[in-house]
Amino acid sequence: MALSKKDMVEMYRRMLLVRYFEEKVDELYGLGKIKGGTHLYAGEEAVAIGACAAIKPDDYITSTHRGHGHCVGKGGDPKLMMAELWGKKTGYCKGKGGSLHIADLSSNNLGANGIVGGGIPIATGAGLSIQMKKSKQVVLCFFGDGASNTGSFHESLNMGGVWKLPVVYICENNLYGMSVPAARACAAQPDIAIRATSYGMPGQVVDGMDVLAVYEAVRKAVDKARKGSGPTLIECKTYRYKGHSKSDPRAYRTREEEAEWQARDAILSFRKKLVEKDVLTEKEAERINNEAYEYIEASARFAEESPYPDVSELLEDVYVD
């Protein structure tokens, strides 16, 4: 499946939606309008958008605490996402989940996860479900470098490898688990992908700042998974522009390092490529950029104007009646 021009334009648009969404959240959080744990995906857009472009609407994803990008990648509407962050009734989870638990079951997004590594076994189980139902779907399992050191990672990738489950394990290595450099947290260096050998699956390192490279690697792994040939571990080298969370002063890394990564910005370089390849004119690219910005502004207005849930909803949804 080669990407059409339309596909690439849509990828560009979604990357912009993620970036503007995160910048808006940053602003609203600073103003005290949004509360809760908020972990921004800005800088890592190429991973979620490139990977999700390689799957079909009925395929599954599991996401992480830094999950806004995955939600947009899977087709999520920033309006409903913003409302969820705001704790509004109109949000994806009726205001009960917030940033850490955005899920859209209707688009087979099995949700963000507040526990690092918590989604990896769940993705593996979704893969088992697909295999047992013979439904030919696949699962993209997103997690970070930090999660690669949890027991859940080991247990799940081993299980996925033993049963040859249709799961693509996508490690977003943004170099830091909160403040600790991956280089000081992962014994095997320099790549997490080499651990794939332990689980009987191929491992691959990809430039996580290149959306087309991510797409291509995930597409191949998805094809393989769909054919019943088992899982793949793909490590995307990427960088989060903001701190781990809003309270992070980023003392553990230099401004120079940040500038180096930002010079390779995934959105700007993709835009340049699209113009060079005549997929878009500069003018069209600018129009898409402006529309994405406006949509996020509208999303924030929608969220702000939306009602909070009624207190009577507090005890609803604990159990299926």
Partner 1 sequence: MREITFQQALIEAMREEMLRDERVFLMGEDVGLYGGAYGASRGLFNEFGPERIRDTAISEAAIVGAGVGAALTGMRPIAEIMYIDFTGIAMDQIANQAAKVRYMFGGKARVPLVIRTSCGSGRSFAAQHSQCLEAWFMHVPGLYVVMPSNPYDAKGLLKTCIRDDNPVIFIEHKMSYKMKGQVPKEEYLIPLGQADVKRSGGDVTVIAISTMVQRALKAAEELAVEGIEVEVIDPRSLVPLDMESICSSVKKTGRVIVVHESVERGGPGAEIATRIMEEAFDYLDAPVKRLSGKNCPMPCSPVLEEAAVPQISDIIGAVKEII
Query: Which residues here bind partner 1, judged by CB under 8 A?
Result: 60, 62, 91-97, 101, 103, 105-106, 110-111, 113-115, 118, 120-130, 132-133, 151-152, 155-156, 158-159, 162, 316-320
Work out how close the CB of 278 gets to partner 1 at its nearest, in angstroms, rounded to a whole number.
41
> Looking at residue 278, what DSSP letter applies?
T
How many other β-carbons are positioned within 10 Å of the β-carbon of residue 204?
16
Work out how close the CB of 318 gets to partner 1 at its nearest, in angstroms, rounded to a whole number.
5
Alpha carbon distances (Å) from 22 to 19, 42, 120, 254, 286? 5, 6, 24, 22, 19
* Strand-strand pairing, 180-181 and 176-177: antiparallel
Question: Of 49 and 157, which has the nearer Cβ to partner 1?
Answer: 157
Question: Of 199 and 261, which has the nearer Cβ to partner 1?
Answer: 199
**Rounded Cα distance, 177 and 166, in Å:** 27
Question: Of 2 and 320, which has the nearer Cβ to partner 1?
Answer: 320
Whose tokens are 């491992």? That residue is: 203
Work out how close the CB of 60 gets to partner 1 at its nearest, in angstroms, rounded to a whole number.
7
Question: Of 64 and 152, which has the nearer Cβ to partner 1?
Answer: 152
Alpha carbon distances (Å) from 307 to 83, 177, 315? 9, 36, 18
Question: Of 190 and 228, which has the nearer Cβ to partner 1?
Answer: 228
Work out how close the CB of 127 gets to partner 1 at its nearest, in angstroms, rounded to a whole number.
7
Question: Of 41 and 153, which has the nearer Cβ to partner 1?
Answer: 153
The answer to whether 64 and 142 are in contact (CB under 8 A) is yes
Work out how close the CB of 77 gets to partner 1 at its nearest, in angstroms, rounded to a whole number.
15
Q: What is the DSSP string of 149-191?
A: GSHHHHHHHHHHHHHT-SEEEEEEE-SEETTEEHHHH-SS-S-
Work out how close the CB of 39 gets to partner 1 at its nearest, in angstroms, rounded to a whole number.
16
Burial of 96 per CB tally in 10 Å (0-12, 13-18, 19+): middle
The answer to whether 267 and 209 are in contact (CB under 8 A) is no
Question: Of 100 and 285, which has the nearer Cβ to partner 1?
Answer: 100
Work out how close the CB of 319 gets to partner 1 at its nearest, in angstroms, rounded to a whole number.
5
Question: Of 121 and 243, which has the nearer Cβ to partner 1?
Answer: 121
Work out how close the CB of 247 gets to partner 1 at its nearest, in angstroms, rounded to a whole number.
23
Structure tokens at 275: 């113009």
Alpha carbon distances (Å) from 234 to 186, 194, 205? 16, 10, 6
The answer to whether 11 and 50 are in contact (CB under 8 A) is yes
Whose tokens are 């489950």? That residue is: 165
